[in-house]
Structure 1
Amino acid sequence: MSLLTEKQIAIAAVRRACALTSLVFNQLRQNETLTKDDESPVTVGDFGSQAVINTVLRHAFPDDPIVGEEDSAELRSDSTEAVRHRIVELVNRILTAPLQPGENEQWGFGPERGLSTDEVMDMIDRGNYNGGSTGRLWTLDPIDGTKGFLRGGQYAVCLALIIDSVVHLGVVGCPNLPLSASNPSGPRGCIFVAVKDQGAFQFSLDDPFNPETAVPLHLPAMSTPENSCILQSVGHTRLTVNDRVAQLLGWTMPPISMDSQAKYCSLSRGEGGVYLRLAGDLGYREKIWDHAPSAILIEEAGGVITDADGEPLNFGLGRSLENNYGIIAAGKDVHSRVLKAVKQVRAEGK
């Protein structure tokens, strides 16, 4: 299954969505923030990004359902008229921009492709599918890492194609991630692409269809304590447990704390040693859009990703990863050692 068309369309959609989020990032207005049920901030970029990507998928694959993070319920109220207007303005600015290399007007791009307010709201709500174990579906996180986005840190636009519960395609756009880990103050803007059985690659976000910018990704199978550390979320994981895991592994380097699936992307190109996310709230259920786009990236880069029991992640259970204590992603040899350490820490009751 080549999925060449799906890959091209997904890259184009994520790149356009990243253009929108970058506009919001650079021109963030105080009244462009709402509050979600979990009390984390969500911005105009979230809704606009989802509308852009869902519009592209509607044109290209009208029969494919989408599991997205956002819905337009709050946006349809009178109290959010200014926010709603700003979203529609940005979505149309992005969709009607001239075609870029690798794009096709049949995907919903071009000067005549503007949408009405109701159409933009409907595009957002195309992400309301509840998921399932059979058939094709897309899952989308329009801005993963909204807190990082708001404070000027890392965030990502993440899209995956799941077929019969298995991720076959993942595209992750990271507008603020340096192109080279060895040059953190250098050019920024990466897009990471992985297709099942076809490898994983990093491209420049500015030119993702140019094969000359493609960097093959290979996650080292082994590591040494001197050059290994834990990649972890900012405030969404049990950090004391992570410290104990690092101690058991003999790792002395400080952890790298970063928002969003940019952690997975950094790991896929050899940074750190393991992405470890252990549940801080035992009642919390990981969402499939938070991991599916990057799960295939890790696997196609030669790594292993499982839950904290060492079992494969199941993306066919709906919108959430049920009965999941945490996530471990690492090179093959590293993963087995981290899994052993995690099980020991859990046995200790940490």
Structure 2
Amino acid sequence: MDLLRSASHFSAVRFIHRHRFIATRAARRLNVRSSLPFSEQKAKYYKELQAAVDVVERACRLCVDVKSSLLPIDGRILEKNDSTPVTVADFGVQALISLELGKLFPSIPLVAEEDSTFLRSTNLADTVFNAVTAKASSTDKPCTQADVLEAIDRGGKDAFAFGSKPATYWVLDPIDGTRGFVRATKALYVVGLALVVEGEIVIGVMGCPNWQEDLSKSTAEIQESNDIVSGSGTIMIAHVGYGTWTRRFSFVQNGMPKLPGDWTRCFVDGSNLVHKARFCIPDSQTWESLPLSALFNATSNADGVGDNQILLLSICCGSLSKYMMVASGRASVFILRAKEKTTIKAWDHAVGMICIQEAGGNVTDWKGNEVDLAADQFSRRIIFPSGGVLVTNGNLHHQILQMISQASTV
């Protein structure tokens, strides 16, 4: 108050306060009314996609804030337990998205990874609550900790029984690529959200807070730059029939709004020769465990790919980052083998599938069948692709399916 009473400082303070007000108002406008790269009159799910873009972007900011405030300074990888920032971010993202979508589309259920059972047994509920309320939209009714826990449970495994009929529902992966989140590097993590209507994925949004412009490099090259800035990432969207698009995040820095980048249409690459293609595989699997290893060796050296080799990109960490790689043309193929002792979760693939399809690519199981999101008739949480999942630019799809088939019969 002393400063405000000082005539010598009054003009400067008024200038600062005015610009802070403008910045705050502009930031809210960017969050609520972010435009999409196609007409609202034509796109059937425009409002749903607009809401999804807004809430995924805020969820990504939540992740960045949690990571910067809670991650140990030595950057060590932590297990997912009651002392890790990934716990706060996972639950916080799910609660935030569940709360916001529940306000706008209360009749649409949510299928998501977490429930609050673990959180209720720890001392982190307050931390999650604070993270969520910092990013939630304002309402007349204040959000309580009970509201946050209930919002998490709306996406839990026991939240909704679908039955055998097609249904409309959201599919959410709060953080795909947990190891990428807890590393103090550029290893990737993604917030992924999709809307399924009567069995068809109609929109998808993926937010990657630490996405880099050139991801066709090795992991070591990607990790050379360590200056993760809030809002420096990319958001990828898809709407059925209207393509896949990306733009840089909008954000506020030093009290001033930074406008989002322009939307850019995404297309898969044009590679039509398997040995010239760029491949991604899960971090938990090796090239030797995949059928194509019988025909090609793998190398991560882009400058030294031989005739009997393929280029394997070392992109960490989750499946959705690989979908982003193929949809943006930075990779040609993502191939995943189904394991006997682990299940394949719908949220690891749903949003990636529509982004690939709308970018001109293809996603099937290893026999060429479409991935059935309704195979888990009760809760829509598990998919059962025969052999595994194959994601390509479309040109290579039939060739690789034939190679998989031939290798399986040898």
Q: TM range, normalised to the smaller chain?
A: 0.7 to 0.9
Residue of 48, 52, 61 corresponding to 1:10 = 52
Deviations 1:229-281 (A, max 9, x none): 2111211x3531346066089443233332121111111111122011112x2
Q: Determine what percentage of the aligned residue pairs are the same residue.
A: 29
Distance 2:313 2:71 in 1: 33
- Of 277, 288, 305, the match for 1:240: 288
Task: Report SS of the residue matched to 1:293.
Answer: helix
Counterpart for residue 148 of structure 1: 180
Distance 2:324 2:279 in 1: 14
| Distance of aligned partners of 1:159 and 1:259 in 2 relative to their CA distance in 1, 3 Å threshold | same
Match of 1:104 in 2: none
Name the CA distance, whole Å, in 1 between partners of 2:357 and 2:125. 39
Match of 1:53 among 97, 102, 109: 97
Among 106, 111, 134, the residue aligned to 1:67: 111
Query: Map of 1:275-286 to 2, 5 A cutoff?
Result: 275-279=334-338, 281-286=339-344
When the two structures are superposed, what TM-score results if normalisation uses the length of structure 1?
Answer: 0.84
Query: Structure 1: how far apart are the matches of 2:260 and 2:130?
Result: 33
- Which residue of structure 1 aligns with residue 239 of structure 2? 195
Name the CA shift for 1:181/1:214 in 2 (closer, same or farther; >3 Å): farther
2:324 matched residue in structure 1: 265
Amino acid in structure 1 at the alignment position of 2:64:
S
Q: How far does residue 304 in structure 1 lie from its aligned partner after superposition?
A: 0.5
Structure number with bigger Rg: 2
Query: What is the CA–CA distance in structure 2 between the aligned matches of 1:254 and 1:321, rounded to whole Å?
Result: 26
The match for 1:340 is 402
Aligned ranges for residues 86-101 of structure 1 at < 5 Å?
A: 86-95=127-136
| Range with bigger deviation, 154-163 or 177-186 | 177-186
Match of 1:23 in 2: 65
Q: Which amino acid aligns with 2:332?
A: G
The aligned runs of 1:300-311 (5 Å cut-off) are 300-311=358-369
Q: What is the deviation of 1:212?
A: 5.7
Structure 1 residue identity aligned to 2:54: A
Between the aligned partners of 1:190 and 1:259, the Cα distance in structure 2 is 16
Aligned residues: 325
Q: Distance in 2 between matches of 1:246 and 1:141?
A: 34
Aligned CA distance change for structure 1 residues 46 and 113 (closer, same or farther; 3 Å): farther
AA partner of residue 61 (structure 2): A
Pick one of 162, 168, 171 that aligns with 1:136: 168
The equivalent position to 2:355 in structure 1, one of 290, 297, 321, is 297
Opposite residue 307 of structure 1, the aligned amino acid is D
Deviation at 1:25, TM superposition (A): 1.7
Whether contact under 8 Å (1:33, 1:44) holds in the other structure is no
* Cα distance in 2, alignment partners of residues 139 and 218 from structure 1: 24
* Other-structure match for 1:171: 205
Distance 1:7 1:238 in 2: 36
Change (3 A) 1:223 1:258: farther
Contact 1:67/1:137, CA 8 A, preserved across alignment: yes
Between stretches 15-24 and 111-120, larger displacement belongs to 111-120
Say which is worse superposed, 264-273 or 123-132, in terms of deviation.
123-132
Equivalent in the alignment of 2:392: 330
2:356 alignment partner AA: I
In terms of fraction of residues, the more strand-rich structure is 1
Give the counterpart letter for 1:341 in structure 2: M
1:333 counterpart SS class? coil
Shift of the alpha carbon at 1:135?
2.5
For 2:385 and 2:282, the matched residues in 1 are separated by: 20
- Counting only pairs closer than 5 Å after superposition, residues 111-126 of structure 1 correspond to structure 2 as 114-126=142-154
TM-score (norm 2): 0.73
User: Which amino acid is the alignment partner of residue 285 of structure 1?
Assistant: T
The separation in 2 between residues aligned to 1:75 and 1:254, in whole angstroms, is 38
Is the Cα contact below 8 Å between 1:169 and 1:195 reproduced in 2? yes
Shift of the alpha carbon at 1:324?
Answer: 3.7
- The code of the aligned residue for 2:167 comes to G
Cα 1:277–1:154 shift into 2, 3 Å: same
Match for residue 15 of structure 2? Answer: none
Q: How many angstroms apart in 2 are the aligned matches of 1:137 and 1:252?
A: 39
Q: Is structure 2 residue 278 aligned with structure 1 residue 229?
A: yes
Counterpart code for 1:18: C
Range moving further from structure 2, 66-75 or 258-267: 258-267
1:136 maps to a residue whose letter is T
Answer yes or no: is the 8 Å Cα contact 1:246–1:252 preserved in 2.
no
| Alpha-carbon distance in structure 2 between the residues aligned to 1:327 and 1:57 | 29
Contact 1:245–1:338, Cα closer than 8 Å, also in 2: no
How far did residue 213 of structure 1 move?
Answer: 1.3
In structure 2, what is the Cα distance between the partners aligned to 1:156 and 1:177? 9
Distance 1:210-1:193 versus aligned 2 partners, 3 A rule? farther
Q: 1:325 deviation in Å?
A: 2.5
Q: What CA distance in whole angstroms lies between the structure 2 residues aligned with 1:263 and 1:340? A: 22
The 1:246/1:110 distance shift into structure 2, 3 A limit, reads farther
SS in 2 for 1:216: strand
Structure 1 unpaired stretches of 5+: 96-108
In structure 2, do the counterparts of structure 1 residues 159 and 130 end up closer, same or farther at CA, with 3 Å as the change threshold? farther
Tell me if the contact between 2:345 and 2:382 (Cα under 8 Å) persists in the aligned partners. Answer: yes
Q: 1:46 to 1:12 in 2, by over 3 A?
A: same
Q: CA contact under 8 A between 1:192 and 1:200: conserved in structure 2?
A: yes
